[in-house]
Structure 1
Amino acid sequence: MAFRCVGVVLLCLVVLASSAVPKNARKKPANPPARAAADAERDAEITNSCPDDGFFADAEQCDKYYECRNGEIIEKLCPDGMVFNDYSPDEEKCDLPFNLDCSQRPKLQTPIPALHCPRQNGYFSHEDPKECGKFYYCVDGKFNMITCPDGLVYNDKTGICTWPDEAKKKGCGAAEVFQFDCPPVNETFGLTHPRYADPEDCQFFYVCINGNTPRRSGCKLGQAFDDVQKRCEWARKVPEW
């Protein structure tokens, strides 16, 4: 990577400094127009010389960053599946993609897939689209399969288990997961979030958010849902039990 010199007198010093940069270090790409002015100015400085010692994100590739030490620029990559978190130039931190906005730096390194792991590190959906509540946690290409609590599905956007209506995952909607549809509600007299007994298990019931989106909930151990009172009661007090 070459360093720009303003004065002719400094030319020799620039030549000597540039010879210390690693061969695999490349010039930092230009910023996209959407980047903030402060970030653009900072990136321009890194392109030509280190503004300060620290770690700085690449302008186009989310898992690439630069380390500046004593005027030397070194290009680096996060482990496959991780992206660089540039919250502080004093910290060298690679993070999960769910924790960062990479929309302005969408490029990524070529993936290194392994069994059940599209990339070496991260959280990934189960290959079977019908397995809504199962996903893989991968570290260095080795996987662990995790199962969400009953009624929740894996959310690709957040990397955690959420309600089906929040995950918005194809084939994993509330109707598919619960096999339950909220009955029509009289908007004039109906409750905002009506409750209905689970037809398969008296301990559980469904809350229909805004009258149309079911979420499964449950009573404490030893209790059952009273479909008349619309609340949990001790099982001996519920006639249906």
Structure 2
Amino acid sequence: MHRATYLLQIFFYLLYSCRGQNCPERNGRFADPNQCDAYLECEDGVPTPKLCPDGLMFSNEASFFSYPCVYPGQTDCSTRTTTQPAKPTAICPHQFGYFLLGDAYNCGQYLNCAHGKGYTFTCPEGLAFNEISLRCDWADLVPSCNAEGYLGFSCPVTYSNELGYPAEYTYHRAAGSCDKYFICIQDRPRLFRCPEGQAFNEDTKKCEDERDVPGCYSQGLQG
């Protein structure tokens, strides 16, 4: 492993030398013009080619005293489109990174890879993993997720007035549950849950004491 790292350092040193790139400033870190995970570190005018770990990218915005390698999506690689060859393991496509598990109908789990080891995480109920922002988000805001299929609910078309315009927000209690409900925003569903001991009242469109919501307290439709 150390030998491979050493050889990569030599390679990038020769690459920078051939390009004739010197330190733009006496001290600092400077992005490779073509490769998003490579950069030049300058100390007292002496350039040293550097390479981020597989799966991480160099950030121009990192201060000189902070770690400069970040996850994809946290820096702009639109003009630096090449990267080092991937170093996958049995479970991880790269040594570092966040990766969606499942498909468009199962969007809630993701894999966090660190040093080639994978750790599985599950988003909070109703949320889906967003591969662009690398966080759990509303399912309807995740391009790779089919929100209706994932949540098991499609918003009915509801009109708000005599002109026939669709209602911007509508509320619907989840089938077979008193404490879960959907808010449809422009006909796209988002799942919510009332606090413990409360149930969603379809008449008032609010979470209320479950004892005050008809059909909920006696039947115990929680969960």
TM-score after normalising by structure 1: 0.76
Secondary structure, counterpart of 2:98 in structure 1: strand
Query: Distance between the aligned counterparts of 2:85 and 2:94, measured in 1?
Result: 9
Which of 116, 138, 141 aligns to 2:113? It is: 138
Aligned mates of 2:183, 2:63 — CA distance in 1: 47
Q: Which residue of 2 aligns with 1:54?
A: 28
Q: 1:50 to 1:207 in 2, by over 3 A?
A: closer
Contact 2:130 2:136 in 1 (8 A): yes
Q: Which residue of 1 aligns with 2:197?
A: 222
Unaligned segments of structure 2, at least 5 residues: 1-8, 217-223
CA RMSD of aligned residues (A): 2.4
Give TM-score, length-normalised by structure 2. 0.82
| Residue matched to 2:219 | none
Which of 171, 181, 184 is the equivalent residue of 1:208? 184
Q: Quick check: 1:29–1:60 contact (8 Å CA) kept in 2?
A: no
**Percent identity over paired residues:** 34
Q: Which residue of 2 aligns with 1:38?
A: none
Structure 1: gaps of 5 or more residues: 1-21, 31-43
Q: 1:157-236 counterparts in 2 under 5 A?
A: 157-169=132-144, 172-188=145-161, 191-210=167-186, 212-236=187-211
1:27 touches 1:47 (CA, 8 Å); kept in 2?
no
Structure 2 partner of 1:26:
14
**Structure 1 residue 70 corresponds to structure 2 residue 52:** no
2:122 is aligned, of 147, 150, 154, to: 147
Partner of 1:120: 95
Asked if the contact 2:105/2:149 (under 8 Å) is kept, the reply is: no
* Equivalent AA in structure 1 for residue 180 of structure 2: F
Return closer, same or farther for 1:59/1:194 CA change in 2, 3 Å cut-off. same
Q: 1:144: how far off?
A: 0.7
For 1:79 and 1:89, how far apart are their aligned partners in 2?
18
| 1:87-106 matches, cutoff 5 A | 87-88=61-62, 90-91=64-65, 92-106=67-81
User: Could you say which structure has the larger radius of gyration?
Assistant: 1
- Give the aligned residue type for 2:37: D
More strand by share: 2
Separation of aligned partners in 2, 1:103 and 1:114:
27
